[in-house]
């Protein structure tokens, strides 16, 4: 059972976060990260070290299990990177970070400052590859009934969610904060999460896995919008069919009117479409958003046709209607009254539908953790925090998250985003304030570290430090740039 901050005679106090748990022997604190081991406060998880030699061609695999001690022979060099996973946290912030490790890379003395940061303002951006409408923009996204974020702008065939952030973590009820923290933790640790959107869909989201929308697993991300699909496949349809309508909630394409059809010499068909004509062969809002054809609410694609001009169309005119993933498709021929009659899809057109499907990429959920290291966390790195920010901005200091590359936003602070699938598994923890705990590392030249007011007295060789939880040796993610790669070393300071 986790302990709370109720004092006990034989308890010790954990001061790694503001909760300040009193932990009795053999027990853990409220976050399960720290425990009382025979009167010693210990970080329970092993400290994760990445080894470049194991990385090449390998995926991230455990080398030593939890509880197994690293042999102590390690000397931090260009083939070893010290992550902050399992490193622990120091609190209050002015204390030096738990590990400030020296290394030598091609004759240059480097230092990596690692800490498990406590992020009370953090969030995640979730990209969900699906045409299916998840819910109107700005609608609340809920987990276990609590609001944890909202639907944001949809871009390029993916629906976007913005979850977490300070208003949900700290600005609502206690339950809202706790569920938001739990949701972020699970998403960042690549566990599946059930979400509902107000006036929208029910979702199952898991980083790196296909989304499940209203119980249906999404297979493909669309090849493009309806207009782009016409542009890509017009040649393959030419001569095999008289008209193609690519149904899409955003831009529905019509072959005979589209520039791609015009250039090929596709004759006019007299087709009349619902919706708002943007430019020739491109229609907006042919239907309402939904989870059927092309992200619309259409179960019957013919409902977006207003008919055919009898002066132009002709009986037995061949019409293909298809969605942007090829998942929905239907073939029609006009009867003598110019009404579409559904027929079996000719084999020549089956190939083109299959080609659309073939060109769709697998639909996935992407989770980007968004944290900020521009606040008090910097004090664990340097006595003059703004110098760290400036050093990051001019690329003298590299920021990584569990060894994974981050994107640092321009502008104020050190606000960064990282793809959680590029990090070692279970790299995230939490504290019940509530806040997420995430690894963050700053790597720079030792000489630059001194210039920016770093805690030089606390720089150590890794081999001189034995974390109580032991060390776990992992190969780095093969797609990540090696954090200490010479070609990637920060340039020399002025």
- 116 or 257, CB closer to ligand SF4? 116
| CB of 12 vs ligand SF4, minimal distance in Å | 10
> What residue number has its CB nearest to ligand SF4?
29
- 17 or 228, CB closer to ligand SF4? 17
Count of alpha carbons within 13 Å of 163, Cβ hemisphere only? 35
Q: What is the DSSP letter of 379?
A: G
- 21 or 404, CB closer to ligand SF4? 21
What separation, in Å, do the N-terminal and C-terminal C-alpha atoms of the chain show?
Answer: 53
- 182 or 206, CB closer to ligand SF4? 182
Cβ proximity of 148 and 198 under 8 Å:
no
User: Which residue in 16, 247, 266, 381 binds ligand SF4 (CB under 6 A)?
Assistant: 16
Cβ proximity of 427 and 402 under 8 Å:
yes
- 27 or 167, CB closer to ligand SF4? 27
User: Which residue in 11, 12, 14, 203 binds ligand SF4 (CB under 6 A)?
Assistant: 14
Cβ proximity of 101 and 112 under 8 Å:
yes
- 121 or 314, CB closer to ligand SF4? 121
User: Which residue in 49, 188, 313, 431 binds ligand SF4 (CB under 6 A)?
Assistant: 431
User: Which residue in 11, 12, 21, 187 binds ligand SF4 (CB under 6 A)?
Assistant: 21
Cβ proximity of 320 and 244 under 8 Å:
yes
- 181 or 408, CB closer to ligand SF4? 181
Q: Does 30 bind ligand SF4 (CB under 6 A)?
A: yes
**β partners of residue 128:** 159, 365
| CB of 118 vs ligand SF4, minimal distance in Å | 8
CA distances from 417 to 124, 188, 436, 482 (A): 9, 12, 14, 18
Q: Does 12 bind ligand SF4 (CB under 6 A)?
A: no
Instruction: Tell which residue, 225, 346, 199, has the closest CA to residue 284.
Output: 225
Q: Does 19 bind ligand SF4 (CB under 6 A)?
A: yes
Q: Which listed range, 24-32, 380-388, 398-406, 459-467, lies at the site for ligand SF4 (CB under 6 A)?
A: 24-32
Q: Does 22 bind ligand SF4 (CB under 6 A)?
A: no
- Measured distance CA(340)–CA(319) in Å, rounded: 8
- 42 or 312, CB closer to ligand SF4? 42
Q: Does 188 bind ligand SF4 (CB under 6 A)?
A: no
Q: Does 20 bind ligand SF4 (CB under 6 A)?
A: yes
Q: Does 330 bind ligand SF4 (CB under 6 A)?
A: no
Q: Does 33 bind ligand SF4 (CB under 6 A)?
A: yes
Cβ proximity of 181 and 193 under 8 Å:
no
| CB of 35 vs ligand SF4, minimal distance in Å | 8
- Measured distance CA(101)–CA(444) in Å, rounded: 11
Who contacts 5 (Cβ-Cβ below 8 Å, separation ≥6)? Answer: 19, 20, 21, 22, 30
CA distances from 148 to 140, 161, 163, 164, 215 (A): 7, 10, 6, 6, 21
Q: Provide the pairing of β-strand 329-334 with 340-343.
A: antiparallel
Q: Which listed range, 9-17, 208-216, 238-246, 452-460, lies at the site for ligand SF4 (CB under 6 A)?
A: 9-17
User: Which residue in 11, 12, 29, 184 binds ligand SF4 (CB under 6 A)?
Assistant: 29
Residue whose structure tokens are 């009898």: 310
User: Which residue in 11, 31, 317, 476 binds ligand SF4 (CB under 6 A)?
Assistant: 31
Tokens for 278? 């943007």
Quick check: bond before 369 cis, omega within 30?
no
Q: Does 4 bind ligand SF4 (CB under 6 A)?
A: no
Q: Which residues contribute to the site for ligand SF4 (CB under 6 A)?
A: 14, 16-17, 19-21, 29-31, 33-34, 431-432
């Amino acid at each position: 059972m986790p302990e709370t901050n109720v004092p006990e005679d034989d308890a010790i106090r954990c001061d790694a976060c503001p909760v300040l748990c009193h932990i009795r022997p053999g027990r853990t604190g409220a976050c399960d990260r720290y425990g009382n081991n025979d009167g010693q406060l210990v970080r329970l998880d092993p400290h994760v070290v990445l080894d470049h030699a194991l990385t090449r061609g390998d995926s991230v695999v455990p080398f030593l299990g939890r509880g197994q001690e690293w042999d102590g022979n390690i000397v931090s060099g260009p083939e070893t990177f010290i992550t902050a996973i399992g490193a622990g946290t120091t609190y209050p912030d002015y204390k030096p970070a738990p590990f400030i490790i020296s290394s030598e890379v091609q004759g240059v003395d480097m230092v990596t400052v690692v800490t498990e940061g406590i992020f009370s303002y953090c969030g995640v951006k979730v990209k969900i590859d699906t045409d299916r409408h998840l819910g109107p923009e700005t609608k609340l996204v809920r987990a276990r009934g609590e609001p944890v974020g909202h639907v944001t702008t949809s871009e390029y065939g993916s629906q976007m969610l913005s979850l977490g952030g300070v208003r949900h973590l700290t600005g609502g009820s206690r339950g809202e904060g706790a569920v938001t923290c739990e949701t972020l933790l699970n998403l960042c640790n690549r566990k599946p999460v059930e979400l509902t959107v107000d006036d929208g869909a029910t979702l199952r989201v898991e980083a790196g896995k296909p989304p499940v929308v209203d119980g249906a697993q999404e297979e493909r991300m669309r090849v493009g919008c309806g207009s782009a699909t016409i542009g890509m496949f017009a040649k393959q349809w030419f001569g095999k069919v008289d008209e193609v309508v690519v149904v899409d909630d955003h831009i529905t394409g019509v072959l005979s009117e589209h520039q791609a059809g015009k250039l090929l010499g596709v004759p006019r068909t007299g087709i009349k479409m619902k919706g708002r004509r943007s430019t020739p062969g491109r229609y907006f809002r042919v239907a309402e958003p939904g989870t059927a054809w092309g992200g619309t609410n259409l179960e019957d694609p013919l409902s977006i046709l207003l008919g055919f001009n009898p002066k132009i169309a002709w009986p037995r005119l061949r019409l293909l209607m298809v969605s942007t993933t090829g998942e929905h498709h239907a073939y029609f021929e006009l009867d003598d009254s110019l009404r579409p009659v559904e027929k079996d899809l000719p084999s020549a057109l089956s190939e083109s539908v299959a080609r659309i499907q073939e060109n769709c990429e697998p639909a996935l959920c992407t989770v980007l953790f968004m944290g900020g290291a521009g606040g008090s966390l910097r004090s664990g790195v340097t006595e003059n925090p703004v110098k760290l920010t400036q050093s990051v901005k001019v690329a003298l200091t590299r920021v990584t998250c569990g060894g994974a590359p981050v994107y640092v936003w321009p502008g104020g602070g050190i606000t960064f985003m990282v793809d959680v699938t590029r990090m070692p598994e279970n790299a995230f923890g939490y504290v019940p304030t509530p806040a997420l705990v995430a690894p963050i590392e700053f790597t720079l030249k030792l000489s630059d570290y001194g210039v920016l007011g770093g805690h030089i007295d606390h720089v150590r060789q890794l081999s001189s430090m034995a974390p109580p939880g032991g060390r776990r040796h992992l190969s780095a993610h093969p797609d990540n740039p090696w954090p200490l790669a010479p070609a990637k070393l920060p340039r020399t300071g002025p």
